[in-house]
Structure 1
Amino acid sequence: MATLVAGRGYVLHPMDWMPSASDQNSPDIYAPWIDWQASVEGLKIAPQEQLTVQNWDDFYPAARRIALTEMRRRDPATARSLMEAKAPGEPAEVRLALIELMHFGLTPEDAPFLKSLATDRSGKVQELASRLLARLGEHGRVGGGADDPVAELAAFIAEGKSGFIRRRTTYTPAKLKSPAQEKRRAELFETCNLVDLASRFGVSEPDFIAAWQFGADNNADIQISRMVAASGSDAAVTQMADTLIAEGGKPALFVLHLTPRLDSRRKRVLVRLILKDTPQYVSTLTLAEGFEANWLDWPDLTNGQSLAVLRSAVAGNDDAMKRTVDDLLETLGFLATAATAEKLIEHVVAAGMPPAAASLAFLRLNAALTGTNP
């Protein structure tokens, strides 16, 4: 809600909602509020000059986060130097939040600093640094012995061939024999990095993803998608997204796991594809992260059967489906423009939803925020 409201040039009333002092995700406009919360007396104001080693302690966490984020986009080397100098003296949770900012403008020049974090006092910081290094193509697993988790994960994947004229390699999840194997495979996908797994088979990350047989095992497809999102290179992420979106249908839904890594254009293409081609899976939009607010137009919602499916669910008697509709309306209320929100309210009310239903609250707020506050 805060993101949608901020996108229209407004803020929530502080008596209705106030971000916590540890908030890392609210829109930048709330940074002074967060820093006010962090201040013991609520009087200190973050300086307006550029963040440096000398004035680091004059910035409260939210203002520092915004300054570092902007610096990583504009001058990543300077931002990295600041983190190298100041992060070691911060508590573990602050160090983790700082290192998370490294994904902005991540380049091979960041590798030495990230490698130095292998001895950080926090296991979470070590793991995050390893993931970021993997995105740069740095291998985190070596060896190949019996206790090598990458080798263990590779054993759950069958390498094969397909095609008669042009033979090509395929990678298919092996048939599992027990729930224990299912659990172990999930753990390995979560802890291993894509670059190491692809290297185990002697191929690049994009080649491994291109050869993965989506549709053979739904759980494995979800696990590989999450692995790509967490540790895959930018090339692997875009290759997987573009391939599955072009294929369409159910396989495109796995791209939802990649949304934190996708650019705005690909996110919008994905949402429009789901609304148009897979209305039976439209509820999956509630699972995605990182979408922008205030862009979904009415033709996007009516280009296919999704609106009809939504109206049918509203008119039906399936309680579970109605709860899903509630979540979906909240998601659509975030994505939609004000005009789209207003039209959607009319349609779901016409389908049988009470005009005063709580499910419409987000849509009504959206529709009320017409224009942009100067």
Structure 2
Amino acid sequence: MALTASNFMVMGSGEESIRLQYCNLTDSSCSSLAAALRSDSSSLRRLYLSGNEQLGDSGVKLLSTGLEHPNCRLDTLCLWECHLPDSSCSSLAAALRSDSSSLRHLDLDGNKQLGDSGVKLLSTGLEHPNCRLDTLWLQECKLSDSSCSSLAAALSSNSSSLRHLDLTMNYDLGDSGVKLLSTALEHPNCRLETLKLQGCDLPDSSCSSLAAALRSNSSSLRHLDLSKNELGDSGVKLLCTGLEHPNCGLETLELQECNLTGRSCSSLAAALRSNPSSPLTELELWGNALNQSGVEPLSALQIDPAYNLTTRAMGGRIPRQQRFQKATRANAIDDTEGFEKDVPKPTDSKCQLRSQANSNNNSGIQFNSLFNRSNW
């Protein structure tokens, strides 16, 4: 699909979002987009280029020249499943270091060639004082504990701005990777509020490091997702040593499909009762081997006026559409993989430039809707 800068003159007329998922775009389209971003009439805030597998490193370099320009107002860039190489992260890092960068939300999900080397390059931007990135998605990017080291350094830097990090389905993080991340969570400079480690094959011992972070008086973590990890009752028992501590500020804890029994419910209830000031309000336990008698300790807390706890525990395995909430993206369900996908790849003839006016002033969009991407 060939696009020129003239295709994007809509940006100057109040439009703030453009969706170009699965449009077979190449780097030449990125040149046109970059020119539009540099335009003194540019109003574009959100750009969705997911599923365009031919953008390549050259395309990202061109886009980054637009991101670095003083006229650019883009705050959200979605590049998931674009088959980007690790070298693309160098250009993105340069944009993050730019003193005129306005980027707040960056989605690199499903770019499996990024790997540890890509995250290391990207972290040079995350650590820079000019970086204003708030949310970073790195699902299924073939990351290991080496990436956790790079991210931990960025989170601990005195200019860290990152508040929401998604590392879902990176299977090689391991206990060592979680330890590195937990050390960063304890650092006074760390501002991270949401950490998603869903489906990362974490062992129960990982909960010990996370509990230490929750006990830290400088931790800002509010939302922790450990779903789809075989933590078991032993892992939850370790995690509860953090939940019961007065310093713990966790508000949402997700433990779906973690191979838990009623013993975990008892541990969780005991931890919350020992910490009456706990701000925990949402506890997700779907998909575990729990029966009515097993969840009774938590049910008692739900009806206790001293607590404001909502627990979703019964119902067997997680409904397909609730697993690995990868995006909207149009609520199209992939029956083989079991998590939400974007709209199916369209044919070239149906691929259209779609833009969305900012009729409701989305500049103050809440994190939960943006991070889940179901309302993009």
* TM-score (normalizing by structure 2): 0.38
- Whose helix fraction is larger, Structure 1's or Structure 2's? 1
- Whose strand fraction is larger, Structure 1's or Structure 2's? 2
Higher Cα Rg: structure 1 or 2?
1
* TM-score (normalizing by structure 1): 0.38
